[in-house]
Structure 1
C-alpha cells in the first residue's frame, strides 16, 4: 500500500477507536505510519480524509452485513422466520459495530457545513436502499427500480430506526421477534 491507502486505512481504524469527531490528524498519522504532510498531499485536508474513511467504513459494514444476511441459512424458512433471522443479524451487527455507527451521528451534525459529507451520506443512503431491496427480497434494482426504491426505503427506515434504538438503549430496543410481530400487526390492518 502507498501513503494514500495507508492514511485511509489508518483513518478507518481511528473512526472505530475514537469516533469521527474525536479523531485527530496525529491519531491518523500514528495509525497509518505516515506523516502529517501526507494528509494534505493525498486528500487535500483532514475533512476529505475523514469523509473518505467514513464512507469506506460504512460501505464495508453494509457489504459485510449484506453477506451475513445472504448467508443466514434462511432457505426453507417462512417469510416471518426469514424476516426474524435477517433482523437478528442486523441487530447483532449494530451491537458489534457500535463505534462505527456512533461515528455516523458525528457526521450527521456536519451535513449543513460540509458538502462532501452530505454527498457521501446521500449517496450511501441511496445505495443502501437498493442493497436492502436486493438482500431482503432478491429484487434487482435494474429490473424493478420502482419496487426496489419502495422496499429499500421501507427497510432503510427500519434499519435507521432500529439502529438508533439499539445504540441509545440496547436493552429496551426491539428484538427481531418484536419487529416481526409489529409488521404482521400492521399488515393485518391494511
Structure 2
C-alpha cells in the first residue's frame, strides 16, 4: 500500500476505536505509520481524511448489510419471515461495526458546525437510500424515483433507529418480530388513500 491507502486504513481504524470526535491527526498518523505531513499532502486536512474514511467504511459495512439481506432472501420466500430474518441478522452487523455506528452518530452531531462533513453526509444519505431500497428488495439497483427514495428513507429510518436503540441498550433493542408487529400496527392505523 502507498501512503494514501495507509492513511485511509489508519483513519478507518481510528473511527472504529476512538470515534469521530476524539480522533486526532496524530492518532491517524500513528495508526497508519505515515507522517503527519502526509495527511495534508494527500487529503488537505484531518477532517477531509476522516470524512473520506467514514464514507468508505460505510460502503464496506454496506457489504455486510447486503450479506444479511441476501442470506434472508435465500433462507425463505415468505416476505414476513424474510423481514424478521433481516432485522435479526442485522444485530450481528451492529456488533461487528459498533465503533463505526457510534462514529456516525458523533459525526451527525458535529455536522452542523462542519459544512464539509454535512455535505459528505448528505451525499451519502441519498446514495444510501437508493442502496437500501435495492438491497431490501433483493435487486442490484433501483431507479432514482420518488417511490424508491421514499422506500429507502423508510428503511434508513428503521436502520438508524434500530442502531440507536441497540447502542444505548442492546438488551432492549427491538427484535425482528417486534419490528414486524410494529409495522402491522402502524399500517393498520394509516387509512387507504381515497380513490381518484
**What TM-score do the two structures reach when normalised by structure 2?**
0.89
The aligned runs of 1:86-105 (5 Å cut-off) are 86-105=86-105
CA distance in 2: counterparts of 1:84 and 1:91, whole angstroms: 12
What per-residue deviation string (whole Å, max 9, x for no partner) do you get for residues 110-137 of structure 1? 2122122111111111111111111112
Residue pairs, 1:27-38, within 5 angstroms: 27-38=27-38
| Aligned position for 1:148 | 148
**How many residues were matched structurally?**
189
Q: How does 1:34-53 map to 2 (within 5 A)?
A: 34-53=34-53
For structure 1, the 5+ residue unaligned runs are none
In the alignment, is the contact (CA less than 8 A) between 1:19 and 1:99 conserved in 2?
yes
Contact in 2 for aligned 1:74/1:85 (Cα 8 Å): no
Q: Tell me the distance in 2 between the aligned counterparts of 1:158 and 1:17.
A: 25
Q: Which residue number corresponds to residue 159 of structure 1? A: 159
Structure 2 CA distance, aligned partners of 1:17 and 1:175? 27
C-alpha offsets along residues 69-113 of structure 1, whole Å, 9 cap, x if unaligned? 223354543111000011112222112211111111221122122
Q: Which residue of 2 aligns with 1:176?
A: 176
Q: Provide the C-alpha distance between the structure 1 equivalents of 2:47 and 2:84, rounded to a whole number of angstroms.
A: 39
Residue 141 (structure 2) pairs with residue 131 (structure 1): no
Deviation larger for 67-76 or 165-174: 67-76
For the pair 1:120 / 2:110, whether they are aligned, the reply is no
User: Are 2:85 and 1:85 aligned?
Assistant: yes
Instruction: Give the SS at the match of 1:110.
Output: helix
Aligned-residue offset at 1:158: 0.6
What is the CA–CA distance in structure 1 between the aligned matches of 2:189 and 2:109, rounded to whole Å? 37
1:175 & 1:64 partners in 2: Cα distance? 19
Question: What RMSD over aligned residues (CA atoms) do the two structures have, in Å?
Answer: 1.7
TM-score (structure 1 length as normaliser): 0.92
Gaps of 5+ in 2: 191-196
Partners of 1:73 and 1:141 in 2: CA distance:
17
